[in-house]
Structure 1
Amino acid sequence: MKEPRNPNRLPLGDGTWHQLSRQYVWVRLIDTGFLLLLVVAAGLAAWLFAHQAWVWLPVGAIIVVLAWMLAITPRQARAYGYQLRRDDIVFRRGILWQRMVAVPYGRMQLVDITHGPLDRVFGIAQLKLVTAAATTGVVIPGLAQEAAERLRDTLVDVAETRRTGL
């Protein structure tokens, strides 16, 4: 990935950007597709049982939004990444509204791994870094289970060597 051309950009160094698991895209597609089916079923039920044709206006709008979400999901997943640096971890996400956060290892208070039922089926997890500042908390979704555990262990080891709070 190219670095931003802005002269005020965050210097990223020579580190490697780590991407999300490809399974994350499938989980997101299944989640959004299931929601799409529920909306269509609710619209059909309201139309058939209540005989209200106006119900298709909001249902149609929701269907368009969900179809758009299905279309951009693979590109969104490619926009996520993280990089381990000497003093911090840098996280990036976003296509139009991009966010890049550097979380110093010494500021981390908790490293949490979670995974829902569908995540477990596909072998992925979500890693959450909690800091004292609410705006710098980072959630890295869609990591392979082994990668999430390895990253958690690395972050804990670095924090312990620096005698910081984890």
Structure 2
Amino acid sequence: MDDLFAPSDVTWTPVSPKLAAVRRLNSAITFGVLGLVALVVLGVTLGWVWGLPALAVFAAGFAWSWILIGRNQRSWKYAEREDELLVSHGILFRELVVVPYGRMQFVDVTAGPLERSFGIATVELHTATPATDAKIPGLHPDEASRLRDRLSALGQAQAWGL
């Protein structure tokens, strides 16, 4: 069954562990702000005794997200074949996206403020069918640039045959 989502005949490239750090920081900010808002709202309206259990619930949610984010980051990988790009990810719901180079319309490279501060970027491939779009988060900027240039060149070369 594992071969269905990660064929063994290719060399898989994992994404950077910095992806987990960025997502964990984002999760910490989100759960921290929501926890403080819940603490203040419940503390003012129902009494401070009710604010502390709400804060504990948000802390437990953050701890659970910490574990899941690490597992999710380790599941991301991609492989370049002669005619297509394979992107695989997911733990509970696994997904394998196969994008033929000739079907690619354009390739985006993006990096938000947190991603830039951690030195990673995301490569996103766009095709005529949104179902076959693929993205690869957590790439080093040099690798993202190399992949963008390679995929663009392969896409243009193979699109001529259509």
Q: TM-score range, shorter-chain basis? A: 0.7 to 0.9
Q: Confirm whether residue 35 of structure 1 aligns to residue 21 of structure 2.
A: no
- The alignment's TM-score, normalised by the length of structure 1, stands at 0.84
**Structure 2 partner of 1:122:** 118
**Structure 2 partner of 1:67:** 63
TM-aligned CA deviation for residue 127 of structure 1: 0.8
Identity across the alignment (%): 32
Structure 1 residues 51-130: aligned runs within 5 Å: 51=46, 61-130=57-126
- Cα gap change, 1:13/1:162 in structure 2, threshold over 3 Å: closer, same or farther? farther
Which region of structure 1 is more displaced relative to structure 2, 64-73 or 148-157?
Answer: 64-73
Q: Confirm whether residue 152 of structure 1 aligns to residue 153 of structure 2.
A: no
**Structure 2 partner of 1:132:** 128
Q: Which of the pair is proportionally richer in helix? A: 2
Output one character per residue of 1:69-97: Cα deviation in whole Å (capped at 9) or x when no partner: 11121111110000000110000000111
User: Match for 1:16 among 11, 18, 39?
Assistant: 11
Please report the RMSD computed on the Cα atoms of aligned residues, expressed in angstroms.
Answer: 2.4
The alignment partner of 1:162 has SS state of helix
Output the amino acid matched with 1:15: V
- Cα gap change, 1:10/1:57 in structure 2, threshold over 3 Å: closer, same or farther? closer
The alignment partner of 1:86 has SS state of coil
- Cα gap change, 1:63/1:160 in structure 2, threshold over 3 Å: closer, same or farther? same
Output the amino acid matched with 1:42: V
- The alignment's TM-score, normalised by the length of structure 2, stands at 0.86
Q: Confirm whether residue 48 of structure 1 aligns to residue 39 of structure 2.
A: no
Output the amino acid matched with 2:45: A
Q: Is the 8 A contact 1:107 1:164 kept in 2?
A: no
The alignment partner of 2:14 has SS state of coil
Number of aligned residue pairs: give it: 160
Which region of structure 1 is more displaced relative to structure 2, 46-55 or 104-113?
Answer: 46-55
